């Protein structure tokens, strides 16, 4: 190899060195710098998205705390019946339902909640675990909320869709 190199003219050696240097720069650029720049942009976007998600979670947590404790805001207030009875007694049937759905792990299944003006609230829940829905309904009864109508339809083993009409007890 050394003999081959020495056999080249000075001009050919210079051309090969410049070409090798250029090839080295191209390899460094596309092998290291460019991937780092794209990773940097991707990570900046991920951080911005995570920041946005965190802010949303903070707002949602404040809303849940407000729904859980609609009065003075003391933690543990009204926990004997899952916090539902205090809110119902203060006239917040919808707030009580939202808070109890969240505590029962059913908030994500809520498709709609609509008051009808006569003291009833109509709920549609999709894809609920029956194991969660039954105890939630029993807790509502203990808190003074009656199920006026219920329509359950099986969707998968252990999973149901529910259409409910709820009202304050004695109504």
Q: State which residues of the chain have pLDDT below 70.
A: 66-91, 170-171
Phi first, then psi, for residue 89 (nearest 5°) are -65, -30
Phi first, then psi, for residue 98 (nearest 5°) are -60, -45
* DSSP 3-state of 103: helix
* DSSP 3-state of 72: coil
Closest CA to 121 of 142, 103, 102, 140: 140
pLDDT at 75: 38
d(CA 69, CA 77): 6
Task: Give the N- to C-terminal CA distance of the chain in Å, as an integer.
Answer: 100
pLDDT at 166: 92
- Dihedral class, residue 63 (left if φ above 0, else alpha if ψ from -120 to 50, else beta): alpha
pLDDT at 152: 93
Q: Are strands 159-168 and 120-129 parallel, antiparallel or unpaired?
A: antiparallel
pTM (2 d.p.): 0.47
pLDDT at 65: 74
Closest CA to 97 of 58, 65, 57, 136: 136
pLDDT at 86: 42
What angle separates helix 93-104 from helix 34-68, to the nearest 10 degrees?
Answer: 130
d(CA 90, CA 71): 8
């Amino acid at each position: 190899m050394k003999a081959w190199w020495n056999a080249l003219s000075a001009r050919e050696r210079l051309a090969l060195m410049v070409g090798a240097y250029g090839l080295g720069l191209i390899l460094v650029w596309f092998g290291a710098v460019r991937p780092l720049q794209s990773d940097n942009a991707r990570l900046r976007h991920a951080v911005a998205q995570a920041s946005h998600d965190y802010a949303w979670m903070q707002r949602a947590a404040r809303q849940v705390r407000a729904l859980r404790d609609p009065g003075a805001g003391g933690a543990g207030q009204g926990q004997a019946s899952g916090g539902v009875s205090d809110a119902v007694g203060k006239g917040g049937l919808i707030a009580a339902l939202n808070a109890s759905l969240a505590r029962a792990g059913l908030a994500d299944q809520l498709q709609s909640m609509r008051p009808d003006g006569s003291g009833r609230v109509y709920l549609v829940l999709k894809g609920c675990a029956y194991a969660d829905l039954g105890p939630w309904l029993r807790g509502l009864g203990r808190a003074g909320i009656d199920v006026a109508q219920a329509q359950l339809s099986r969707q998968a083993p252990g999973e149901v869709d529910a259409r409910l009409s709820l009202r304050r007890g004695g109504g």
